[in-house]
């Protein structure tokens, strides 16, 4: 059910006439009252606020949301009003936000002219947390908005939507802690996010807003799951998972850090559970191959390649031995990328969760192996495979036969081998693998060199040699394998050929990529649309016409403690019957992971209200793929990989027309919190310089205010004691560090356009930047200068004139050159997402324009259009004051005229008697006489001409001026 929580009472836009109040308007609340209707409780507030004007009505499914909104209103009203502003943004911005919403300025119609080019620009789905936005969030949103506005003005059909990735663990945990239903907190958080985004003037098509928690949306998430199930791409399996008893759910590897949950820091153990899995490995090769054609950051593509981890090699069979040395029927299959080193395999390693382990352990080692297995369950896969960690293991008490030389080699259990990768077992070659080498040294296992580096003997090589070379010590006539003297590549091919011929192995391509664990023991997630027959346990998918399967209402969301999900408590919902046979059945009580809804939302934005199919085929063909997708690099191997997998499945079944969902991906940089200056005190409480803090061991850190800090060379020191060097740090914004800056506060003091402009001006879009609130004053002054240049300065009493100071005079050549240089630069930099240098170009233009006596309307209107993607509120107001009655959102973006981009002056070398004596600047087409006159006036050149007779001048226009002087008569005295 989609609940619209906000309905605006529209007010007429204020005319820009003699607004004496524009520069100082303390907030006043004139009254409020509540009233109740059949649809819920409403709160009507009439305000004249410092950040806007007008009235609003807010409703909610419970009274709780009203109270939160009232608290927010009161918090805003208590802010100290800004006494002086560079321009009246506090009236301009709400006025134009109101206009855009009332007129649906940025709505993309369902029926559009498909002969026009399209531009689909998308932000990565935000998760609406209760904390709301901080100033780091609008960085990407501002960039996509600039691109969307720019492309609209270039005549494109633009799709620029926004929605919410609203299922997930945070909302459920908050519900458990507070007793508030997740639906309530989620809707409240969405309201806050939406309000903040609107206050920043983003040109989203809010008619297309979706949330993953809406049944009409997750109906199609469930439909996709059923298609995966039909094709064998969804299945159930008993797999070791990261189980967090405190949270009562399975966690992904990425949600576990150092053995504890990322959220809450609770202990996590490895435990086998029956889970839903998605067979993403079936698409591994396609996911790898199609990366080459994508306009994505190389770092992201490389991360996906490494995550998929394609490797070619062989599977080899090692038979387990009885105590008397005879071969048993049990065989351990290992995958190796280096079959050429098989004679160097001196032991086997199986993962603690290997399915054969119980059959491999001797009675004497049973106790030790069980203890080791228990320890291994407390580590994440990342911890277990980290190269820097010391390797640990335990002997199984059992041996296997090396098929290449017949040797009995010990079988060890070690957690640096994962049960989920390859076969869960490896042949360890300590001479030629770093991890195996460390392990062998620690446990005194033989190390046999079988590959010789070409330039030195193996005895000269202290550590493991990982490269290829010439094979040595690798021959056994009894078993028929001799690869001595071959190079590694030839030896690999010969070992595989021998293994396949003798039944000891086969060629194999392997992937690190594992199937996607798709079940969560949570309430707040999409129900999985299957039932299980009571008598047989058979899995029966729901009929498509029965979708959506909606969540039941639950009051108790707490974990059961048994591994059963919270949904198991909804007994009447769990118990059902199979509609086909009438047999009693039960519903699946696990839910889908948070990633599910975000895998395909970009498709739903193309056709958000379609109740008959996931997306209309014609609309999908027109809008696909997403042209520009902006978000954090942290989603490189999760969301982006999962979305590509689902998209390829949908492509295979004819739902989508493209092989890939996102044509271009851009990762914005991170905005770090303001720099914090830390000083150190010793045990006596005295300040010590930062370089001595580590040497002394124990020291106390103390945060120093910026006004007490000065820069000295490359360091920061105490202003009162420059000998005390400080440490300057900037961290990612987080509530725990107390360095979060609320955009509402910045908008209140400087305006949304200033915030947008500052975030783009801080530095290259893809780089990380450090927030500095004082830095916003620079762009705020630029906007103020732009306003005064076009509107004029206010009178002493604060009154602002009507209209603008723009004149109807024809622009000069200098003015046209300045404008078109700016147009060219701004256009080029927006297209290259170099927004900071585009702003610099506009600043240069304003500096030049302040030197002009008149501001021609033709020049000013073009500049306003250039400014509009960056500072849309101010631009709209200036456009209106310039005499236009409609929004500039669809006005043509200015185009640079090449005629005015040509350099107007050239540097002309001047020679005297063939020797260059200096240069002068001349206009193109300069005559010889004018060039000579300029040369005569040049201080450096003129000294060679004073008092000299000129024989002739040689002038090549645009190339050179050569002045030939008369030779002076030289008198020679008599001998």
Question: Rounded distance, CA 154 to CA 577, Å?
Answer: 57
Question: Is residue 826 very low, low, confident or very high in pLDDT (cuts 50, 70, 90)?
Answer: very high
Residue 176, pLDDT score: 79
For residues 655 and 725, membership in a common domain is answered with no
Whether a cis peptide bond, with omega within 30° of 0, leads into 625 is yes
CA dist 821 → 183, 631, 838 (Å) = 53, 32, 11
Residue, of 266 and 350, whose pLDDT is higher: 350
Do 663 and 677 share a domain, yes or no? no
Model confidence pLDDT, tens digit, residues 156-196? 999 999 999 999 888 887 887 888 899 999 999 999 999 99
The whole-chain average pLDDT of the chain stands at: 85
* Residue found under tokens 């002038």: 955
Side-chain-side CA neighbours of residue 882 (13 Å): 26
Tokens representing 335 are 């995958």
Reply yes or no on whether the pLDDT at 26 is more than 50: no
Q: What is the pLDDT of residue 687?
A: 85
Same domain, 634 and 700: no
Q: What is the CATH number of the domain that holds 605?
A: 3.40.50.620
Q: Give residue-wise pLDDT tens across range 212-262.
A: 999 999 999 999 999 999 999 999 998 878 888 887 777 766 677 777 887
CA–CA separation, 392 and 390 (whole Å): 6
pTM (global) more than 0.85: no
CATH number at residue 824: 1.10.730.10
Is residue 969 pLDDT above 80, yes or no? no
**Domain end position, chosen among 459, 491, 511:** 511
Q: For 100-114, 623-637, 678-692, which range has the lowest pLDDT when averaged over its residues?
A: 678-692
Same domain membership, residue 149 and residue 133: yes
Q: Are residues 660 and 680 in the same domain?
A: no
- At residue 749, does pLDDT exceed 50? yes
Helix (H), strand (E), coil (C) string for 898-961: HHHHCCCEEEEEEEECCEEEEEEEEECCCCHHHHHHHHHHCHHHHCCCCCCCEEEEEEECCCEE
Give how many domains the chain has, as a whole number: 5
Q: For the ranges 365-369, 510-514, 865-869, which has the lowest average pLDDT?
A: 510-514
Q: What is the pLDDT of residue 170?
A: 80
pLDDT in tens, 618-656: 999 999 999 999 998 888 888 999 999 999 999 999 999
**To the nearest 5 percent, what fractions of the chain are helix, strand and coil?**
35, 25, 40
Mean pLDDT to the nearest integer, 689-702: 72
348 found inside a domain:
yes
Phi, psi of 175 (to 5 degrees): -65, -40
pLDDT at 737: 65
Residue 579 lies in a domain: no
Secondary structure (H, E, C), 349-363: EECCCCCCHHHHCCC
User: Of the segments 104-108, 273-277, 813-817, which one has the largest average pLDDT value?
Assistant: 104-108
With bands split at pLDDT 50, 70 and 90, how would you rate the model's confidence at 752?
very high
Read off the pLDDT of residues 931-962 as tens digits, 9 standing for 90 and up. Answer: 999 999 888 999 999 888 999 999 999 899 99
Q: Tell me whether residue 922 is in a domain.
A: yes
* In-domain check, residue 364: yes
Specify the 3-state DSSP secondary structure of 198: helix
Cβ-contact 482, 210 below 8 angstroms: no
Do 626 and 724 fall into the same domain? no
With a CB cutoff of 8 Å and minimum separation 6, the contacts of 220 are 600, 604, 614
Q: Residue 705: its pLDDT value, please? A: 85
Domain boundary among 470, 486, 511: 511
**Same domain for 842 and 930:** no
With a CB cutoff of 8 Å and minimum separation 6, the contacts of 435 are 387, 391, 416
Q: What is the mean pLDDT of residues 387-411?
A: 91
Q: Residues 49-58: pLDDT tens digits?
A: 333 323 222 2
N- to C-terminal Cα separation, the chain? 120
Q: Which residue has better confidence, 223 or 906? A: 223
Question: Do 318 and 193 share a structural domain?
Answer: no
Secondary structure of residue 482 in the 3-state scheme: strand
Window from 169-183, 424-438, 455-469, 798-812 with minimum mean pLDDT: 455-469
Residue 10 confidence (pLDDT): 34
The pLDDT > 70 percentage for the chain reads: 87
pLDDT at residue number 796:
78
Average pLDDT over residues 832-860: 96
Statement: residue 4 has pLDDT above 80: no
**461 pLDDT band (50/70/90 cuts)?**
low
Residue 894, burial from CB neighbour count under 10 angstroms (0-12, 13-18, 19+): buried
Beta carbons within 8 Å of 366's beta carbon, 6+ residues apart: none
pLDDT for 418 beyond 70: yes
| CB contact at 8 A, 520 and 282 | no
In a domain, 396, yes or no: yes
pLDDT score, position 263: 73
Say if residue 831's pLDDT is above 90.
yes
689, 704, 730 — which closes off a domain? 730
Pair (320, 412) in one structural domain: yes
Whose structure tokens read 């690869």? 483
In a domain, 256, yes or no: no
DSSP line for 595-650: HHHHTSHHHHTTSTT-SSSSS-HHHHHHH-SBSEEEE-GGGTTTHHHHHHHHHHHH
346 and 480 assigned to the same domain:
yes
Q: Which domain holds residue 756?
A: 746-900
Q: 213 and 323: one domain?
A: no
The predicted model gives 298-320 an average pLDDT of: 94
Peptide bond into 548 cis (omega under 30): yes
Same domain as 365, residue 465: yes
Residue 684 pLDDT level (bands cut at 50, 70, 90): confident
Question: What's the pLDDT band for 72 if we cut at 50, 70, 90?
Answer: very low
Q: Please tell me the total number of residues recorded for the chain in this structure.
A: 975
Confidence (pLDDT) at 67: 40
Distance, C-alpha 332 to centroid of its chain? 42
CATH of the domain at 448: 3.90.740.10
Weakest mean pLDDT among 239-253, 503-517, 574-588: 239-253
CA-nearest of 766, 773, 901 to 836 is 766
- For residue 41, pLDDT beyond 50: no
620 neighbors 606 (Cβ within 8 angstroms): yes
- 565: tokens are 């999900």
- Strand (E) or helix (H) holding 408: strand 408-414
Which residues, at least 6 apart from 779, have a Cβ–Cβ distance to it below 8 Å?
Answer: 754, 757, 758, 761, 839
Question: Rounded to an integer, what distance in angstroms lies between the CA atom of residue 756 and that of residue 783?
Answer: 12
Confidence of residue 387 (pLDDT cuts 50, 70, 90): low
pLDDT of residue 13: 37
Under the banding of pLDDT at 50, 70 and 90, the label for residue 380 is low
User: Which band of pLDDT confidence, cut at 50, 70 and 90, is reported for residue 663?
Assistant: very high
Tell me which of 390 and 718 has the higher pLDDT. Answer: 718
Tell me, what's the pLDDT at 694?
63
Name the pairing type of β-strands 6-9 and 52-59.
antiparallel
What tokens appear for 276 in the block?
């839903």
What is the DSSP secondary structure assignment for residue 174, as one 8-state letter? Answer: H
pLDDT at 692: 74
């Amino acid at each position: 059910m989609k609940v619209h929580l906000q309905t605006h009472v529209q007010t007429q836009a204020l005319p820009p006439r003699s607004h004496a109040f524009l520069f100082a308007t303390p907030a006043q609340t004139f009254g409020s009252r509540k009233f109740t209707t059949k649809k819920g409780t409403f709160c009507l507030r009439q305000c004249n606020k410092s950040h806007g004007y007008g009235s609003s009505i807010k409703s909610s499914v419970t009274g709780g949301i009203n109270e939160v909104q009232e608290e927010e209103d009161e918090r805003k009203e208590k802010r100290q009003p800004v006494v002086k502003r560079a321009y009246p943004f506090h009236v301009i911005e709400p006025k134009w936000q109101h206009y855009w919403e009332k007129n649906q300025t940025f709505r993309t119609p369902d029926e559009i002219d498909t002969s026009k080019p399209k531009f689909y620009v998308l932000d990565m789905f935000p998760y609406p947390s209760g904390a709301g936005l901080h100033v780091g969030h609008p960085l990407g949103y501002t960039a996509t908005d600039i691109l969307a506005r720019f492309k609209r003005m270039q005549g494109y059909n633009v799709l620029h939507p926004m929605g919410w990735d609203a299922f997930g663990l945070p909302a459920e945990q908050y519900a458990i802690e507070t007793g508030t239903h997740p639906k309530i907190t989620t809707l409240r958080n969405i309201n806050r996010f939406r309000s903040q985004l609107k206050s920043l003037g983003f040109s989203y098509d809010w008619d297309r807003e979706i949330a993953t928690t809406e049944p009409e949306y997750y109906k199609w998430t469930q439909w996709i799951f059923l298609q995966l199930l039909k094709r064998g791409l969804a299945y159930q399996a008993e797999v070791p998972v990261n189980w967090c008893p405190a949270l009562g759910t399975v966690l992904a590897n990425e949600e576990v850090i150092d053995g504890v949950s990322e959220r809450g820091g609770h202990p996590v153990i490895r435990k086998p559970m029956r889970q839903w899995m998605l067979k993403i490995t079936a698409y591994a090769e396609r996911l790898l191959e199609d990366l080459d054609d994508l306009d994505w950051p190389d770092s992201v593509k490389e991360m996906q390649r490494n995550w998929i981890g394609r490797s070619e090699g062989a599977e080899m069979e090692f038979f387990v031995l009885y105590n008397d040395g005879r071969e048993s029927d049990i065989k351990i299959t290992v995958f190796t990328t280096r079959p050429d080193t098989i004679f160097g395999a001196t032991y086997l390693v199986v993962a603690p969760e290997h399915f054969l382990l119980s059959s491999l352990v001797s009675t004497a080692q049973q106790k030790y192996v069980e203890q080791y297995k228990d320890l291994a369950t407390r580590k994440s896969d990342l911890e277990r495979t980290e190269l820097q960690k010391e390797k640990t293991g335990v002997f199984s008490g059992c041996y296997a036969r090396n098929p290449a030389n017949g040797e009995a080699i010990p079988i060890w259990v070690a957690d640096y081998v994962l049960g989920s990768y390859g076969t869960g077992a490896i042949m360890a070659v300590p001479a030629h693998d770093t991890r195996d080498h460390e392990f062998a040294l620690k446990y005194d296992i033989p190390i046999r060199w079988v590959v010789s580096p070409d330039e030195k003997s193996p005895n000269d090589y202290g550590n493991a040699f990982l490269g290829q070379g010439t094979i040595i010590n690798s021959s056994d006539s009894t078993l028929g394998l001799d690869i001595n003297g071959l190079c590694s590549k030839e030896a690999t091919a010969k070992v595989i050929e021998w293994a396949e011929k003798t039944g000891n192995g086969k060629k194999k391509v392997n992937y690190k990529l594992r199937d996607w664990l798709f079940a969560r023991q949570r309430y707040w997630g999409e129900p999985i649309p299957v039932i299980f027959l009571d008598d047989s346990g058979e899995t029966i998918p729901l009929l498509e016409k029965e979708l959506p399967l909606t969540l039941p209402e639950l009051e108790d969301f707490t974990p059961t403690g048994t591994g059963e999900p919270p949904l198991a408590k909804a007994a009447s919902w769990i118990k059902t019957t199979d509609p086909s046979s009438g047999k009693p059945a039960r519903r699946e009580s696990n839910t889908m992971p948070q990633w599910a809804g975000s895998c395909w939302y970009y498709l739903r934005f193309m056709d958000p209200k379609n109740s008959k199919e996931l997306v209309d085929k014609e609309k999908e063909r027109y809008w696909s793929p997403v042209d520009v997708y902006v978000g954090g690099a942290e989603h490189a191997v999760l969301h982006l990989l999962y979305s590509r997998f689902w998209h390829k499945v949908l492509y295979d079944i004819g739902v989508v027309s493209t092989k890939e969902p996102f044509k271009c991906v851009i990762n914005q940089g991170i905005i770090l919190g303001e720099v914090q200056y830390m000083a150190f005190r010793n045990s006596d409480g005295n300040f010590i310089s930062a370089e001595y803090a580590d040497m002394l061991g124990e020291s106390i850190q103390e945060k120093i205010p910026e006004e007490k800090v000065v820069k000295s060379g490359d360091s920061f020191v105490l202003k009162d004691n420059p000998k005390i060097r400080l440490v300057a740090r900037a961290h990612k914004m987080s509530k725990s560090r107390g360095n979060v800056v609320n955009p509402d506060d910045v908008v209140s003091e400087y305006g949304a356009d200033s915030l947008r402009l500052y975030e783009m001006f801080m530095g290259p879009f893809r780089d990380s930047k450090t927030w500095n609130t004082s830095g916003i004053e620079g762009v705020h002054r630029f906007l103020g200068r732009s306003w005064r240049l076009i509107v004029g300065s206010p009178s002493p009493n604060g009154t602002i004139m009507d209209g603008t100071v723009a004149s109807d005079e024809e622009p000069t050549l200098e003015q046209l050159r300045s404008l078109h240089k700016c147009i060219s630069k701004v256009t080029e930099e927006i297209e290259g997402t170099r927004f900071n240098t585009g702003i610099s170009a506009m600043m240069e233009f304003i500096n030049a324009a302040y030197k002009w006596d008149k501001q021609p309307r033709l020049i000013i209107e073009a500049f306003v259009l250039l400014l509009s993607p960056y500072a849309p509120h101010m631009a709209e107001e200036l456009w209106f004051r310039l005499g236009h009655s409609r929004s500039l959102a669809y006005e043509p973006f200015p185009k640079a005229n090449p005629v005015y981009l040509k350099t107007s002056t050239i540097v002309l070398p001047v020679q005297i008697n063939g020797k260059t004596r200096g240069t002068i600047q001349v206009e193109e087409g300069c005559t010889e006489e004018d060039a000579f006159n300029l040369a005569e006036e040049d201080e450096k050149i003129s000294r060679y001409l004073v008092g000299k007779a000129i024989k002739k001048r040689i002038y090549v226009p645009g190339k050179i001026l050569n002045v030939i002087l008369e030779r002076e008569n030289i008198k020679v005295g008599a001998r």
